[in-house]
């Protein structure tokens, strides 16, 4: 019985003792803080879901959260403690955040004089480092303060009465599964769990951390020997603190557990019970006003885009009719031409042709240099026939023709693409005194080239092509000074055009056969007439329309006059002095024959070619009842040649007719 009583007493005593012991040793577990009754100050709040928010994005803010009951630090074992909490820091700017979270044990809950920013709301400039603070802390610091000897801007430190840490380490953890140390970004907006343990027997503080969800790593991140009995007073509080400085960020705590005394760890947090974090980088809800503004801005943007698109479309807009399908091969896109000429820049302008501006360009696809002629063309009338003609002309191939490479049509515009002739047009050489002087041999080569091209157009192609506008400015020179006849067939455009140099009749004044103005019908013989004028021009270097001698309005009449007077040498370009005069005179005579007023008296281009090839007898047989072409001085006849001459520049015979595409 006595033993029984004893047992009961000792049981009672035991119960009593353990109860009183438990009253002195605190422990708590908060998986979310709804029921926690924490003492909060500063920016600290508890969200409806139980999430503890310490700081928000306001600058210079402090926040404290205390477990409200005192902790008694009297018995040696009471100094041992274990705590763990899960936190997340959301930086406002991705890479920088302020200032961090601190777990601390302090004798007071009054920190209203704590300075925010680097002091974490726990110290101020006058209290820091003073041992009368009695403050133990583990800091999660996201700013490197050189004043406190911080190792980096992402570290964990163990502090006593100061923010100069007793020990610190860059945030990270030992991954047991991988067997390596890994770094942790404190401001990565991902929840992290930290464990802090203190054992009064070895007086060692141990800190470990890991991403929330992983067990406590087997290795600590850092540890430090501290005699907590020298720091703590009899009665202390535990809390979490945080502050923002000139850079702000939102700091959250999801759960926290604490155990005082003993050797076991703080109770585990239950992941499933922890509150969820707000979505990081979540867009703020838009007010009605900003929604309307957003809609208006979108509409404006779409309209601006549309305008740009329309302008872009218009910039490259072309006309393409169904009937053009068969000429697709010759078609060049306007976009390519626009790019080739850098937007038809004045800098790329080669000159003003008879029909419009001529630009130099480089085709983007083939990188070939081309001449691009922009012809204004008001009506689309006759365009179909014209394009058909271009279709044909594009197939013409002769080494003395400027090759037409393609065309493009736009509203009111026709664009033609030709081979680029680096040496420009012949008229510049004839009339620009300063420029390179062409020798007689070079001029003969040019005359023969043009004649050869005309033979091809008149007789050697599948259709008879009348050039309609043979003149020195239409003769272009390639790299080796070969003549290339350009603009063939284009004279037709004059029907619609308004070129001041032209009459209502097709062609250029001064090169027009007299019958053209009467009948208005172009024939091969009208081309021969123009060619005759062209020869006179080349040999005399005088424009067909410049008044010459005593009141002759046209070159041809003056040459005729000189010839009649036996003074043909007066006509010769003075720069040709000392060169084969005989031959020059012969060519002048050929010019006169070609420019005969009566079409039937003119030779054909093939005959002209024969004469140029040396058959001067042929010249003698041509009928020539010479009379002035333009002036009216009645009929006069005189023999053209006293005796047959020798061939023209027989020493020079590189040209022969090239027949292509027959």
Please state the length of the chain. 662
Least distance CB 62 / ligand NAG (angstroms): 10
56 counts as binding ligand NAG under rule CB under 6 A: yes
Q: Which is nearer to ligand NAG, 43 or 157 (CB)?
A: 43
Figure out which of the listed residues 4, 20, 48, 132 binds ligand NAG, where binding follows CB under 6 A: 132
CA distance 334 to 372: 11
246 counts as binding ligand NAG under rule CB under 6 A: no
Q: If DSSP codes are grouped into helix, strand and coil, which group holds residue 132? A: helix
Figure out which of the listed residues 24, 49, 127, 265 binds ligand NAG, where binding follows CB under 6 A: 127
Query: Which of 141, 159, 161, 469 is labelled catalytic?
Result: 469
282 counts as binding ligand NAG under rule CB under 6 A: no
Burial of 254 per CB tally in 10 Å (0-12, 13-18, 19+): buried
632 counts as binding ligand NAG under rule CB under 6 A: no
Least distance CB 140 / ligand NAG (angstroms): 20
Phi then psi dihedrals of residue 307, to 5 deg? -60, -45
Q: Which is nearer to ligand NAG, 58 or 650 (CB)?
A: 58
For every residue of 594-638, which 3-state class applies, written as one string? HCCCCHHHCCCHHHHHHHHCCCHHHHHHCCCCCCCCCCCCCCCCC
Q: Which is nearer to ligand NAG, 58 or 69 (CB)?
A: 58
- Choose the stretch contacting ligand NAG; rule: CB under 6 A; options: 56-64, 236-244, 473-481, 526-534: 56-64
183 counts as binding ligand NAG under rule CB under 6 A: no
Least distance CB 123 / ligand NAG (angstroms): 8
124 counts as binding ligand NAG under rule CB under 6 A: yes
631 counts as binding ligand NAG under rule CB under 6 A: no
CA distance 594 to 354: 24
Q: Which is nearer to ligand NAG, 126 or 463 (CB)?
A: 126
For every residue of 364-432, which 3-state class applies, written as one string? CCCCCEEEEEEEECCCCCCHHHHHHHHHHHCCCCCCCECCEEEEEEECCEEEEEEECCCCCEHHHHHHC
Least distance CB 253 / ligand NAG (angstroms): 15
Closest CA to 487 of 300, 340, 355: 355
34 counts as binding ligand NAG under rule CB under 6 A: no
Least distance CB 137 / ligand NAG (angstroms): 15
Q: Which is nearer to ligand NAG, 63 or 205 (CB)?
A: 63
Figure out which of the listed residues 130, 290, 501, 546 binds ligand NAG, where binding follows CB under 6 A: 130
Residues 433-472 that bind ligand NAG (CB under 6 A): none
Helix (H) or strand (E) holding 254: strand 249-260
- Choose the stretch contacting ligand NAG; rule: CB under 6 A; options: 54-62, 293-301, 399-407, 485-493: 54-62
CA distance 101 to 118: 11
125 counts as binding ligand NAG under rule CB under 6 A: yes
58 counts as binding ligand NAG under rule CB under 6 A: yes
Q: Which is nearer to ligand NAG, 49 or 127 (CB)?
A: 127
Least distance CB 133 / ligand NAG (angstroms): 8
Binding-residue total with ligand NAG (CB under 6 A): 11
For every residue of 204-249, which 3-state class applies, written as one string? EEEEEEEEECECCCCCCCEEEECCHHHCCCCEEEEEEEEECCCCCE
Give helix 605-612 / helix 440-455 axis angle, nearest 10°: 150
43 counts as binding ligand NAG under rule CB under 6 A: yes
CA distance 205 to 172: 17
Burial of 645 per CB tally in 10 Å (0-12, 13-18, 19+): middle
70-101 residues labelled b (16+ CB within 10 A) or e (exposed): ebbbeeeebbbbbbbbbbbbbbbeeeebbbbb
- Choose the stretch contacting ligand NAG; rule: CB under 6 A; options: 121-129, 203-211, 230-238, 555-563: 121-129
Q: Do 542 and 556 touch, CB atoms closer than 8 A?
A: no
Per-residue x/- marks for ligand NAG, 95-114, CB under 6 A?
------------------x-
Enumerate residues 6+ apart whose C-beta is below 8 A from 579.
439, 440
- Choose the stretch contacting ligand NAG; rule: CB under 6 A; options: 124-132, 157-165, 196-204, 438-446: 124-132
Q: Which is nearer to ligand NAG, 43 or 591 (CB)?
A: 43
Closest CA to 475 of 535, 522, 521, 415: 535
Give residue 84's Cα distance to chain centre: 55
Q: Which is nearer to ligand NAG, 161 or 561 (CB)?
A: 161
Residue whose entry in the numeric block shows the structure tokens 């009348």:
466
- Choose the stretch contacting ligand NAG; rule: CB under 6 A; options: 118-126, 330-338, 381-389, 524-532: 118-126
Q: Which is nearer to ligand NAG, 127 or 376 (CB)?
A: 127
Q: What is the dihedral of CA 631, 632, 636, 640, to 10 degrees?
A: 20
Is 227 one of the annotated active-site residues of the chain?
no
Q: Which is nearer to ligand NAG, 55 or 524 (CB)?
A: 55
- Choose the stretch contacting ligand NAG; rule: CB under 6 A; options: 52-60, 276-284, 445-453, 504-512: 52-60
Q: What is the dihedral of CA 640, 645, 647, 650, to 10 degrees?
A: -130
Q: What positions carry a catalytic annotation?
A: 469
- Applying CB under 6 A, the residues found at the interface with ligand NAG are 43, 56-58, 113, 124-127, 130, 132
């Amino acid at each position: 019985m006595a033993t029984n009583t004893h047992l009961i007493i000792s049981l009672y005593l035991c119960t009593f003792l353990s109860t009183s012991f438990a009253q002195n040793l605190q422990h708590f577990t908060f998986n979310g803080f709804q029921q926690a009754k924490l003492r909060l100050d500063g920016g600290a709040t508890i969200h409806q879901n139980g999430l503890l928010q310490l700081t928000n994005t306001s600058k210079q803010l402090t926040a404290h959260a205390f477990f409200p009951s005192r902790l008694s630090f009297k018995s040696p074992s009471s100094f041992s403690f274990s705590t763990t909490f899960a936190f997340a820091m959301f930086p406002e700017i991705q890479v920088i955040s302020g200032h961090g979270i601190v777990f601390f044990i302090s004798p007071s809950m009054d920190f209203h004089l704590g300075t925010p920013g680097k002091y974490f709301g726990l110290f101020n400039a006058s209290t820091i480092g003073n041992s009368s603070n009695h403050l133990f802390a583990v800091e999660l610091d996201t700013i490197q303060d050189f004043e406190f000897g911080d190792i980096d801007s992402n570290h964990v430190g163990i502090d006593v009465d100061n923010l100069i840490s007793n020990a610190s380490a860059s945030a990270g953890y030992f991954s047991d599964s991988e067997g390596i140390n890994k770094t942790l970004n404190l401001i990565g907006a991902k929840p992290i769990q930290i464990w802090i343990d203190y054992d009064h027997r070895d007086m060692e503080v141990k800190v470990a951390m890991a991403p929330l969800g992983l067990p406590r790593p087997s290795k600590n991140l850092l540890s430090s020997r501290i005699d907590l009995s020298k720091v703590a007073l009899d009665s202390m509080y535990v809390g979490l603190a945080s502050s923002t400085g000139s850079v702000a960020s939102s700091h959250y705590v999801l759960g926290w557990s604490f155990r005082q005394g003993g050797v076991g760890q703080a109770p585990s947090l239950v992941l499933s019970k922890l509150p969820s974090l707000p979505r990081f980088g979540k867009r703020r809800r838009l007010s009605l006003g900003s929604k309307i503004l957003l809609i208006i801005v979108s509409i404006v943007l779409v309209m601006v885009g549309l305008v740009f698109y329309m302008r872009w479309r218009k910039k490259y807009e072309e006309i393409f009719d169904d009937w053009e399908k068969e000429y697709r091969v010759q078609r060049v896109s306007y976009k390519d031409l626009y790019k080739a000429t850098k937007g038809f820049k004045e800098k790329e302008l080669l000159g003003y042709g008879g029909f419009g501006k001529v630009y130099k360009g480089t085709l983007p696809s083939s990188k070939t240099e081309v001449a691009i002629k922009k012809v204004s063309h008001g009506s689309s009338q006759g365009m179909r026939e014209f394009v058909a003609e271009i279709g044909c002309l594009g197939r013409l191939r002769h080494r003395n023709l400027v090759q037409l490479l393609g065309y493009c049509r736009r509203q009111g515009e026709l664009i033609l693409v030709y081979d680029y002739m680096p040496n420009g047009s012949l008229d510049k050489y004839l009339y620009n005194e300063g420029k390179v002087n062409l020798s007689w041999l070079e001029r003969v080569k040019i005359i023969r080239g043009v004649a050869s091209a005309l033979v091809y157009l008149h007789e050697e192609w599948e259709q008879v092509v009348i050039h309609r506008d043979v003149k020195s400015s239409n003769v272009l020179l390639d790299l080796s000074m070969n003549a290339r006849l350009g603009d063939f067939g284009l004279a037709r455009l004059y029907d619609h055009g308004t070129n001041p140099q032209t009459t209502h009749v097709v062609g250029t004044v001064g090169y027009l056969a007299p019958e053209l103005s009467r009948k208005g019908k172009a024939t091969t013989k009208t081309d021969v007439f123009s060619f005759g004028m062209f020869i006179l021009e080349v040999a005399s270097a005088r424009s067909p329309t410049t008044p010459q001698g005593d009141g002759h309005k046209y070159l041809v009449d003056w040459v005729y006059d000189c010839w009649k007077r036996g003074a043909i040498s007066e006509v010769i370009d003075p720069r040709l002095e000392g060169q084969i005069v005989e031959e020059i005179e012969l060519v002048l005579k050929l010019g006169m024959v070609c420019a005969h007023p009566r079409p039937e008296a003119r030779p054909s281009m093939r005959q002209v070619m024969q004469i140029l090839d040396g058959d001067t007898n042929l010249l003698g047989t041509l009928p020539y009842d010479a009379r002035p072409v333009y002036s009216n001085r009645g009929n006069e006849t005189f023999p053209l040649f006293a005796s047959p001459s020798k061939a023209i520049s027989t020493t020079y015979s590189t040209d022969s007719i090239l027949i292509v595409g027959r």
